[in-house]
Amino acid sequence: MNKENNLSKNQQIVFDIIEKSREPVKAYSILFNVKKKGIKAPPQVYRALEKLIKLGKIHKVESKNAFVACKSSNCEISKATAFSICETCEKVTEISDKKLSKYLKNFHDKTGMIYKKYNLEFYGLCTTCKRS
């Protein structure tokens, strides 16, 4: 364990890759990038990813099978995620909107189900792609 932040060696290596990236990173892209650091096999990456998600340090963008560092509530355990995804340039941005998260956290359906977590992915055209 790394004392400062509670991450183990592999977890830190994987997290660093994701954090530095400006876009969602795929598991096998991570794997490729950490071969030089001694991580050789998929389970090592997937285990680190799983732990990082549990810790709220990263999120999985489900519709892209890719991972991003949590920007909105850094280092807190986050079970509420929202992303905007540009269908043209593929840019993914985490949305942190108090009203939206409040609305969704308080949402109840008719059945009385208890929601502990949600993931919302918007698709559309980002402002850059809109212009062109």
Q: Which residues bind DNA (CB under 7 A)?
A: 1, 3, 8-11, 26-29, 38-44, 46-48, 51, 65
Q: Is 64 helix (H, G, I), strand (E, B) or coil?
A: helix
117 lines the binding site for its own copies (CB under 8 A): yes
Q: Which residue has the tokens 């009385």?
A: 112
| 8 Å CB contact between 9 and 3 | no
Calculate the alpha carbon distances from 9 to 31, 46, 48, 102, 121 in Å. 14, 14, 9, 35, 31
Tell me whether residue 10 or residue 119 sits nearer to its own copies (CB atom): 119
Give the Cβ contact number of residue 15 at 10 Å.
22
- Contact pattern for its own copies over residues 74 through 113, marking x by CB under 8 A: ----------x-xx-----x-x-x--x--xx--x-xxxxx
Q: How far is the CB of 2 from DNA (least distance, A)?
A: 8
Partner whose binding site includes residue 42, from DNA, its own copies, none (CB under 5 to 8 Å by kind): DNA
**How many residues bind to its own copies according to rule CB under 8 A?**
32
